[in-house]
Amino acid sequence: MSRVVVDVMLKPEILDPQGQAVANALPRLGVTDVSSVRIGRRIEIEFAGTADLDTAREIADKLLANPVIEDFEIRADDPVEEDA
């Protein structure tokens, strides 16, 4: 089993009201030196066999991200060996 990770982020020019709301809450934590927060989405795709980056790119392009407002990056993710 192999995993591909897709990160979807709003394009820089698109306003991110959720990120702004988080940024506005930071002073309540005593944090005052953050200038911006942007919120995106991480999607993990598990392939039954070997990771197919081309297929993952197609999935990301057609469904996971809306190219009008979002950019995406994909990468193969070697799962950390977990203790059996």
Partner 1 sequence: MTVRIGVVTFPGSLDDGDAARAVGIAGAEAVRLWHGDPDLHGVDAVILPGGFSYGDALRCGAIARFAPVMETVADAARGGLPVLGICNGFQILCEAHLLPGALTRNQHLHFRNRDQFLRIASTSTAWTNQFAEDQEILIPVKNGEGCFVADEPTLDELEAEGRIVARYARGNPNGSQRDIAAITNEAGNVVGIMPHPEHAVEALTGPSLDGLGFFASALRTLAGASAGGQPAGGR
What residues line the site for partner 1 (CB under 8 A)?
Answer: 13-15, 17-18, 21, 63-64, 66, 68-69
Terminal C-alpha separation, the chain: 16
What number of H helices and E strands is found in the chain? 2, 3
Q: Considering the complex, what minimum distance in angstroms separates the CB of residue 68 from partner 1?
A: 4
Q: Which residues lie below 8 Å from residue 14, measured CB to CB, with a gap of 6+?
A: 69, 70
Give 46 or 79: the residue with its C-beta nearer to partner 1. Answer: 46
Give 51 or 65: the residue with its C-beta nearer to partner 1. Answer: 65
Q: Considering the complex, what minimum distance in angstroms separates the CB of residue 6 from partner 1?
A: 11
